[in-house]
Structure 1
Amino acid sequence: MTTTVTTAAAPAPAGHPAPDTAARRRRRATLLRWCFVAPAALYLLAFFGYPLVRNILMSFQHYTPHTFFTGESPFNGLDNWRAVFRNPLFVDSLGHTLVFTVGSLLGQFVLGLALAVFFSRRFPLSGVVRAVLLLPWLVPMVVSAVVWRKLLDQESGVINTLLMDLHLTSSAVPWLSSPDLALLAAILVNIWIGIPFNMVILYGGLQEIPRELREAAALDGAGAWRTFRSVTLPLLRPVVTVVLILGFMSTVKILDLILALTGGGPADSTQTLGTVTYQLSFQQLDFGQGAVVGNVLVLVSAVFAVLYLRANRSDFGQGK
């Protein structure tokens, strides 16, 4: 005779959920997290992922206004890329973009940091003055460019009138009509627009530095410059990294300022990658070649985005 012994499952310890209940809770938590992430993921795929993929495909197609009527965009391999890289305007725009970006970033950062240090000291109406200095950043860039185009006008601009009244120049300066000065004028205008952003971010970073460290450096005999170089700047490095990389990513692809200020002229002296993309796509109506220049801009921005993330990660690891 065979006796079957049934072993009862051991009850879960008091205070601990059963295994199946714990698994259900984990699945529910995972599903809930995905529910929160899904809208953002769908938004990125729809408005960033699809246009990016479409732009890459377009750079390998013969895509013209005729395509909108026939739907035909034949694959032409690397023809668009060869045409763009052999175009002297594209080569010149690379140099202009580099000069414009580096000049703008240096001016914005140096002046923004100087103002941030200045406003870190309390004085009457400092808050009001800071608010007034934010106006160039709040005004739309096209509006700022149009105003500065009037100010820099060779015949009736306020800037030339002021310079001649102060006897700093004997004749009107062709700020926007000279190929040698137009790019410099665009850089100066962009510096004026970007100073408030740099000032606000750097000012916030300065407020996070403990005052006791600067006071300790002063007690050790360090002067103002030595304290700033040895104490303030090293602690401000994470903020400086963010400001420079975000400033680069917004400056390298700038379009509206150049179009409203100089239109890319005179003699293509202010053509940048952004304006070349616009010219190829919406003036010459060669969307394939325009997509090539757009992809170059995306690639450059992606490289600096990776650098930004790596810098943030390393700074976080050091702070941790």
Structure 2
Amino acid sequence: MNNTTHAPVARPVRVSGEAARAAPPRTGGRAGRPRSGQWAAWAFLAPVTVYLVVFYAYPLYRNLDLSLRDYTVRSFVQGGAPFSGLANYRKVLGDPTFGPALLHTVVFTLVSIAVQFALGLALAVFFTQYFRLSATLRALFLVPWLLPLIVSASTWSWLLNSDSGLVNSVLHGVGVAPVNWLTSPRWALVSVIIANIWIGIPFNLVVLYSGLQTISPNLYEAAALDGANGWQKFWRVTFPLLRPVSAITLLLGLIYTLKVFDIIWIMTKGGPTDSSTTFATWSYRLGFGNLLPQFGPGAAVGNLLIVMALIFGLVYIRVQRRQQSA
């Protein structure tokens, strides 16, 4: 009799469908798939990162480095400029041009934004009333936005010319004395503000008109049934619902208007006697507008302009958040 014991034969176990679906999948040799997905995400992110570093981070770093060193033309080309700390900022803050340039920058920005937004909103509301040729007129209002800025600024320089300008010709025709728009310290800043407003109205019109298209007509019908007139519909329905779009429009207009340079430089070059000088034109004139450029002070003025943009933007965003939470 053989006493040898035999090991039990393993029988295949049948797994029900639900248990099979609940069982974790076998990865085997495919454990690298999640990591390959991460590499793909980084590959899509790389172009944006390179763009931001090359066109934003590096120029900001160079501008900050320029403002903290005593650069000359030779050291700007060959390198080796000595470190001067905050000397360039002290020089700029003590310059007699600083006060007027700051005031002109604030006035130019706030007046331009306020008038552009008001006229753009009025035109947007007007064009929501469909009538014949409304699309054609709306397209014509985009012309100032589509023209190159050098063309727009040159056109306004011709219109406001003291001797042969069209504006003074019209004023003379109605019995008003000619105005030295571009050569008078009293009117130079007004002239560049008018030109900038004309250029900025189409942007406000397009964005605000798009925002008005998202408001349901049923709300206006309900307001009319409640006895609301036109102004009450605008103030109680249109304006509150348009607030998010208005915030974006004003914020973008603020950032753009603070750095306006070409319009002012072509029309007045910041003159006469610095009467239309802003931080943008002053920075350019210090760095590139003289035979002996002052790169450090010019970069310092540019950095102050960046700080102003940040302050204006943060204050505006804070006000908007308070209004939304109220």
Q: TM-score, normalised by structure 2?
A: 0.87
Q: For residue 131 of structure 2, what is the aligned residue in structure 1?
A: 123
Select which of 282, 301, 304 maps to 1:296.
Answer: 304
Q: CA RMSD in A?
A: 2.4
Give the paired residue count: 305
Q: For residue 14 of structure 1, what is the aligned residue in structure 2?
A: 21
Q: Which amino acid aligns with 1:149?
A: S
- Quick one: distance in 1 between partners of 2:20 and 2:300? 64
Structure 1 position 247 matched with structure 2 position 253: yes
Q: For residue 105 of structure 2, what is the aligned residue in structure 1?
A: 97
Select which of 144, 164, 171 maps to 1:163.
Answer: 171
> 1:141: how far off?
1.1
CA contact (8 A) 1:242 1:308 kept: no
Structure 1 position 26 matched with structure 2 position 34: yes
> 1:283: how far off?
2.2
Structure 1 position 189 matched with structure 2 position 174: no
> 1:24: how far off?
3.6
Q: Which amino acid aligns with 1:80?
A: N
Q: For residue 3 of structure 2, what is the aligned residue in structure 1?
A: none
Distance 1:20 1:31, change over 3 A: farther
> 1:28: how far off?
2.4
Fraction of identical pairs, as percent: 47
Q: For residue 82 of structure 2, what is the aligned residue in structure 1?
A: 74
Q: What SS does the aligned partner of 2:92 have?
A: helix
Return the index of the structure with the highest Cα Rg.
2
> 1:72: how far off?
1.9
Q: Structure 2: any 5+ residue segments left out of the alignment? A: 1-14
Q: TM-score, normalised by structure 1?
A: 0.89
Q: Which deviations, in whole Å up to 9, do the C-alpha atoms of 1:1-49 show, x marking residues without a partner? A: xxxxxxxxxx995375346788643322222111101111011101111
> 1:95: how far off?
0.3
CA contact (8 A) 1:255 1:275 kept: yes
Distance 1:69 1:47, change over 3 A: closer
Q: For residue 57 of structure 2, what is the aligned residue in structure 1?
A: 49
Q: What SS does the aligned partner of 2:57 have?
A: helix
- Quick one: distance in 1 between partners of 2:252 and 2:302? 19
Q: For residue 223 of structure 2, what is the aligned residue in structure 1?
A: 217
Q: Which deviations, in whole Å up to 9, do the C-alpha atoms of 1:86-111 show, x marking residues without a partner? A: 01112210000000001100110111
Q: For residue 95 of structure 2, what is the aligned residue in structure 1?
A: 87
Q: What SS does the aligned partner of 1:264 have?
A: coil
Q: For residue 133 of structure 1, what is the aligned residue in structure 2?
A: 141
Q: For residue 65 of structure 1, what is the aligned residue in structure 2?
A: 73
Q: Which amino acid aligns with 1:186?
A: V
> 1:300: how far off?
2.3
Distance 1:24 1:270, change over 3 A: same
Select which of 114, 118, 134 maps to 2:122.
Answer: 114
Q: For residue 7 of structure 1, what is the aligned residue in structure 2?
A: none
